[in-house]
Amino acid sequence: MTSSRRETEKGGAVSPELTASLSVRGVAVTYPNGTVALTDASFELGGGTICGLVGVNGSGKSTLFKAIMGFVAPAAGEIEIAGLSPRAAQKRNLVAYVPQAEDVDWSFPVLVEDVVMMGRYGRMGFMRRPSPNDRRMVDEALDRVGMAAYRTRQIGELSGGQRKRVFLARALAQDGLIILLDEPFTGVDVQTESAIIDLLRELKAQGHLMLVSTHNLGSVPDFCDQVVLVMRTVLAAGPTATTFTQANLEQAFGGVLRHFRLDGHALHQDDDRRSVTVLTDDERPVVFYGSVAERDEPLKRKGEEGS
């Protein structure tokens, strides 16, 4: 998105060799009402990467985000962002976070562009006066999510998907080394979704680390190079090719996924022994091609092997 990330870092407090990393070790979270949302969750991410976070409703994805941000205190375990505590990383403006649902006052007298500018506050000086660079970042971010035409709308005068895009733009403008997106694609149209995915890929190339929760299982192999599967703990974490397998998904989703398996004459007239398995939790389905024996095999990218 920009090559000026390093130079805009506040007060030069960040050493240039700082690279993106996220480590979650043995984290447990229990809510005040006694709900045990996570136990012994661990995974490590490093460098420019897009990591998908998948699991059923209530599996603890949002809780994991909140724990990483320090908004819920873990009962056990530790979290490090770029080698720092979450609070220290936030103070250095290393983390951008877009929650699943924004808890803001939609009638607040701020315009779309004002909201996106808030992403830059952490980098501004004492009086929080925007520099030309800050303005440029805001323009760029608005362009990227296709909301430039709405920049002078009051924030409440937008549709649900448009609101999501504005808050995504704010995270982009913030230009954090680590970007946490809790279900950015929910309620967003297909066109916007693929635009956002393109954007994430560019950020990855620039060395940003992204953790993105989603229910669109079908697009996970498309844009995530790593996945973390959660079910009250981290069931599996690692490269998509070896982690996003049918067996792991079945474990993570239990009976929740709808499972279609087509083979033999239901699928083809000839003697082809291959089969198709479709797993869906009602968003985009994920499709596995192969025989039963290959259940643990690495997932082939959609399209790599014709049907």
Partner 1 sequence: MMELLSPFTYDYMLKAMWVSALVGGTCAFLSAFLMLKGWSLMGDALAHCVVPGVAGAYLLGFPFAAGAFIAGLLAALGMAFVRSQTRLREDTVIGLVFTSFFAAGLLIASLNPVSVNIQSIVLGNILAISDEDAIQVVIISVVTLGILLVKWKDLMLVFFDETHARSIGLNVNGLKVLFFTLLSAAVVAALQTVGACLVIAMVVTPGATAYLLTDRFPRLLAIAVAIGAGTSFIGAYLSYFLDGATGGVLVTLQTLIFLATFFFAPRYGVLATRRKAAAAVVATPVADRLS
**HSE-up of residue 10 (Cα within 13 Å, Cβ side):** 18
d(CA 31, CA 37): 7
| Residue 214 or 240 with smaller CB distance to Mg ion | 214
Give me the least distance between CB of 189 and partner 1, in Å please. Answer: 24
| Residue 61 or 204 with smaller CB distance to Mg ion | 61
* 133 near Mg ion, judged by CB under 5 A: no
Stretch that binds Mg ion, among 37-45, 100-108, 125-133, 246-254 (CB under 5 A): 100-108
* 158 near partner 1, judged by CB under 8 A: no
* 269 near ligand ATP, judged by CB under 6 A: no
147 residue type, one letter: M
Strands 178-182 and 21-30: unpaired
Applying CB under 6 A, among 4, 6, 31, 106 the residue interacting with ligand ATP is 31
**Tokens coding 248:** 């792991």
* 118 near partner 1, judged by CB under 8 A: yes
d(CA 39, CA 233): 5
Stretch that binds Mg ion, among 93-101, 119-127, 169-177, 217-225 (CB under 5 A): 93-101
Chosen from ligand ATP, Mg ion, partner 1, none, partner binding at 235 (C-beta under 5 to 8 Å by type) = none
For residues 194-253, which are near partner 1 according to CB under 8 A? none
Q: Which residues contact 208 (CB under 8 A, 6 or more apart)?
A: 20, 48, 176, 177, 178, 179
d(CA 231, CA 283): 19
| Residue 68 or 142 with smaller CB distance to Mg ion | 68
Chosen from partner 1, ligand ATP, Mg ion, none, partner binding at 31 (C-beta under 5 to 8 Å by type) = ligand ATP
* 100 near Mg ion, judged by CB under 5 A: yes
Distance of CA 56 to the CA centre of its chain: 15
* 62 near Mg ion, judged by CB under 5 A: yes
* DSSP state string for 177-243: SEEEEESTTTT--HHHHHHHHHHHHHHHHTT-EEEEE-S-GGGHHHH-SEEEEESSSEEEEEEHHHH
Nearest alpha-carbon partner for 144 in 211, 98, 201: 201
Strands 209-213 and 178-182: parallel
* 60 near ligand ATP, judged by CB under 6 A: yes
Contacts with partner 1, residue ranges (CB under 8 A)? 69-71, 87, 90-93, 95-97, 99, 102-105, 108-111, 114, 118-119, 121-122, 126-128, 154, 170, 174
Contacts with Mg ion, residue ranges (CB under 5 A)? 61-62, 100
Contacts with ligand ATP, residue ranges (CB under 6 A)? 31, 33, 35, 37, 55, 57-63, 100
